[in-house]
Amino acid sequence: MLSGSQSRWIVIFVAACALVFLIYVGRADTRSPRADEDTRARVSPVFTPAHRSVLDAVRDFFNRRPVPVQPLAFTHKVHLANGMHCTDCHTAVEAAPVAGIPGVELCMTCHQMIAADKPEIKKLAAYQKRGEDIPWQRVYAFSPTVHVKFNHAPHIRAGVECKTCHGDMTQQTVAVRAVDLNMGYCVNCHRQKQASTDCITCHY
Partner 1 sequence: MQRHDAPLDSGLSTLAILLLVTCHSSMVQTMESKAQKKWAMVVDLDRCTGCEACVVACHAENNIPTVGEEQAAMGRAMHWMRVERYYQGDFPNVRVKFIPVFCQQCDAAPCEPVCPTYASYHTAEGLNGQVYNRCIGTRYCANACPYNVRFFNFYNPVWEKPLHLQLNPDVSVREVGVMEKCTFCVQRIKAAEITAKADKRELKDGDVQPACAQSCPPKALVFGDLNDPTSEVSRLAGSNRATRLLEELGTKPKVIYLQRESWGDGKES
Give the binding range for partner 1 (CB under 8 A) out of 10-18, 26-34, 142-150, 169-177.
Answer: 142-150
Tell me which stretch binds partner 1 (CB under 8 A): 15-23, 100-108, 130-138, 151-159.
151-159
Question: At its nearest, how many Å lie between partner 1 and the CB of residue 147?
Answer: 4
In the list 26, 103, 135, 144, the residue contacting partner 1 (rule: CB under 8 A) is 144
Cα dist from 105 to 11, 61, 133, 152, 192, whole Å? 61, 39, 9, 23, 40
The reply to whether 147 sits near partner 1 by the rule CB under 8 A is yes
Give the H or E element holding residue 38: helix 33-43
Q: Cβ contacts of residue 178 below 8 Å, gap of 6+? A: 166, 167, 168, 172
Among 6, 7, 63, 145, binds partner 1 (CB under 8 A): 145
Q: Rounded to the nearest 10 degrees, what angle do helices 104-111 and 119-130 cross at?
A: 130
> In the set 153, 186, 189, 195, which binds partner 1 (CB under 8 A)?
153
d(CA 142, CA 132): 27
Q: Which is nearer to partner 1, 170 or 197 (CB)?
A: 197
Cα end-to-end distance, the chain, whole Å: 53
Complex with partner 1: residue 96 or 114, whichever CB lies closer: 96
83-89, Cβ contacts within 8 angstroms, sequence gap of 24 or more: 86/162, 86/169
Please count the residues of this chain forming the interface with partner 1, following the rule CB under 8 A: 24
Q: Is 72 in the site for partner 1 (CB under 8 A)?
A: no
Q: Which chain residues interact with partner 1 by CB under 8 A?
A: 41, 44-50, 95, 144-147, 149, 151, 153-154, 157, 198-201, 203-204
